[in-house]
Amino acid sequence: MKKRILVTGGTGYIGSHTVVELIENGFEVIIVDNLSNSKIEAINGIETITGIRPVFEKVDLCCKEEVDFIFNKYTDIEGVIHFAAFKAVGESVEFPMKYYYNNMNSLLNVLNAIQKSKNQISFVFSSSCAVYGNSDILPVSEDLPLGKPTSPYGNTKLFAEIILQDIVKQFENLKVIALRYFNPIGAHHSGFIGEAPLKTYNLIPILTETATGVRKEMYVFGNDYDTPDGTCLRDYIHVVDIAKAHIIALKRLIEENKISDYEYYNLGIGKGFSVLDIINTFEKVSGKKINFKIVDRRVGDVAEVYASTKLANEVLNWKAQLNLSEMLLSAWKWENEFRNY
């Protein structure tokens, strides 16, 4: 019998790509999402790619009763991949209470339901490099102590990891891997799913919308950082590479091929690209000229961060496969040809 996996936030960007990988690896998926920053049509893309339509339940994870209902309805859940969270750094600075309430309550309600279920649960948590704060040591490795995040969003990821590290010691039915993403970009090679936020935007959707003319120009927040060209430098990684890492992590937990009941790994390519690098590379792969404007720095941004991926490479036997040009070309294909809903 196929193992049943609950994916919170499964119609979102990384969630939908991970659902595809789960289905293609023989898992049965239940998606729960409140559609606050995604669309139900993502299910159509998943079905087109895999030939299987996953179960979908519209659920507000901040409502304890709704979460309990899901675990009572699907009593054979063996794994949870927890993506559900608000994720925009800038928005979190402006509306911190919104982020603390949503991101922490949703996690706590899921953990409470897991405790009551008594099932042995393999739990993969969607974390972030934001937990390291503004590290002076690069590349960022898992050996570094967790820092002071520069935004409420980052704080929620840090608090969540602290909670999970404490809870896993008390829950006999729980084992956890936290995956600390750097900057996911790109889209599925088919073009049927990609990044399609409703409210909050990251760099790449803004870039591609500028290329199509939906936006007249894009802003580059600061050009006076201590980086080669003065713009922020980040470790960008293809969303499909990240999705594949979730499958590896989940299988590691299910097969109990683990070092401890709580593990954590960086996911990146181990190299940084500046905002201007991204714009220049996109112009080359797309043939489009991008109209951009340099503006003041944005609160919450750090100058430079990129990963050491040695631990994930050696322990998980995972390594990012897709390069920056492939990331940006897939994002452009999604925006230009397929993002029609």
DSSP 123-154: EEEEEEGGGG-S-SSSSB-TTSPP---SSHHH
- According to the model, what pLDDT value does residue 251 have? 97
Q: Is the peptide bond before 184 cis (omega within 30 degrees of 0)?
A: no
Mean pLDDT of 64-83: 97
- DSSP letters, 277-322, are HHHHHHHHHH-----EEEEPPPTT--SEE-B--HHIIIII------
Which pTM was predicted? 0.94
- Rounded CA-CA distance 177/160 in Å is 12
Please state which of the four CATH numbers 3.40.30.10, 3.90.25.10, 2.120.10.10, 3.30.70.3040 is assigned to the domain occupying 203-234+270-335. Answer: 3.90.25.10
pLDDT band at 150 (very low <50, low <70, confident <90, very high): confident
Q: Where are the domains of the chain?
A: 4-186+237-267, 203-234+270-335
Assigned CATH topology for domain 4-186+237-267 = Rossmann fold (3.40.50)
H or E stretch covering 77:
strand 77-82
Instruction: Please indicate whether residue 225 is annotated as part of the active site.
Output: no
State the helix-helix crossing angle for 96-117 and 152-170, rounded to 10 degrees.
20
In tens, the pLDDT along 237-279 reads 999 999 999 999 999 999 988 889 999 999 999 999 999 999 9
The predicted-structure confidence for 290-314, as pLDDT tens digits, reads as follows: 999 999 998 767 788 899 999 999 9
What per-residue confidence (pLDDT) applies to 341?
Answer: 44
Contact 240, 334 (CB under 8 A): no
Active-site residue, from 99, 153, 181, 265: 153
